[in-house]
A and B are shown apart, each in its own frame.
Chain A
Amino acid sequence: MNGNGVKITAEVISLRIPADPRFLRVARMAASSVGSLVGLALDDLEDLKIGVGEVVTSLLELGNGNELTLEFQLVDLGVELFAYVELDGPSEIDEERAALGLQILDVVADEHQFSLDTGRAAIWFRRSVDTLADVDES
């Protein structure tokens, strides 16, 4: 574990953040750092940051004050995020914000998936190099 509390094991970077919106920025900065490890271009990094921000914002609302866990997985030409929070109480979801967040995720993610099981809400998200843009530029 490095001095910032970020644990790097093989190709997974785990991060636990308190249930406080002030730490959204930490999650985005971590996403940007992880994305740079796999060579994402600036536009891809920006989309990754935006996507991670939306994921964490939704889980913060669902988590009712519980700590969030983020696991970044380095994959070929991209980054996957599996983020989750334990559920043990009522959640206050701003449905209009959540709908906007989903629209944004649809654009900035290659794929994303939300799961709500007993006791846990989780979101999986993948962002890869924008291969179409690379083809256009060549």
Chain B
Amino acid sequence: MPPDASGFEIIASTDDGMVRVAGEVDAATADQIADAVAEVLDTRLEVVLDLSQVTYMDSSGLRALILCRQAAEGRSARFEIGSTSPEVARLLEITGLAETLLGGPSVRPDALGEPG
């Protein structure tokens, strides 16, 4: 999806399981992250979210990250936040979600792989 006026852009790749998000994440855009992660999970059991280019995030964005993790857990898939911008990292610390969302894979490593 191309960037909008806020610079929001999301690129999901089912080839490598990467979902790259850029720009401002709020109630107007957060659902697109969950949709993109769900799209990747349709074909892979591993998804990595790159939030290093996110310039703003609010509670709607954090809620979307929680939903992404839950979606991965529901499919016994691995969900990882690969990198964060300082803005996102601060919010994760404020809300105590850093350990939950950055704490590592949501399932055992031997559960990884592509759906058979």
6 closest A-B pairs (Cβ-Cβ)?
A21-B28, A101-B59, A21-B27, A100-B59, A97-B63, A53-B58
Question: Which of B5, B59, B62 lies at the interface centre, i.e. has the most chain A CB atoms within 10 A of its CB?
Answer: B59
Provide 26 A-B residue pairs closer than 8 Å at the C-beta atoms, listed in order of the A residue.
Answer: A20-B28, A21-B28, A24-B26, A24-B28, A24-B58, A25-B5, A25-B6, A25-B24, A25-B26, A28-B56, A46-B87, A49-B56, A53-B26, A57-B26, A57-B27, A57-B58, A57-B59, A94-B63, A96-B66, A97-B59, A98-B59, A100-B59, A100-B62, A100-B95, A104-B91, A107-B94
> How far is the CB of B40 from the nearest CB of chain A, in Å?
23
- On A, residues with C-beta under 8 Å from B are 20-22, 24-25, 28, 46, 49-50, 53-54, 57, 60, 94, 96-98, 100-101, 103-104, 107
B52 interfacial contact with A, CB 8 Å? no
Q: Does B106 contact A (CB under 8 A)?
A: no
* Distance in Å: Cβ of A44 to nearest Cβ of chain B: 14
Most buried by B among A20, A100, A107: A100
Residues of chain B within 8 A (CB-CB) of A96 are: 63, 66
For the complex, what is the distance from the CA of A126 to the CA of B60, rounded to whole Å? 22
Q: Which of B58, B96, B97 contacts A101 (CB 8 A)?
A: B58
B6 touches A54 (CB 8 A): no
B59 touches A54 (CB 8 A): yes
* CB neighbors of A among B40-64 (8 A): 56, 58-60, 62-63
Q: Which residues of A contact B27 (CB under 8 A)?
A: 21, 24, 57, 60
Chain B, residue nearest A53 (CB): B58
Bound-state CA distance A46–B59 (Å) is 15
Q: How far is the CA of A25 from the CA of B56 in the complex (A)?
A: 10
- In this complex, the member of A21, A97, A101, A103 whose beta carbon has the largest number of chain B beta carbons within 10 angstroms is A97
Residues of B within 8 A of A100 (CB): 59, 62-63, 95, 97
Q: Which residue of A lies closest to B8 (CB)?
A: A25
Q: How far is the CA of A60 from the CA of B87 in the complex (A)?
A: 23
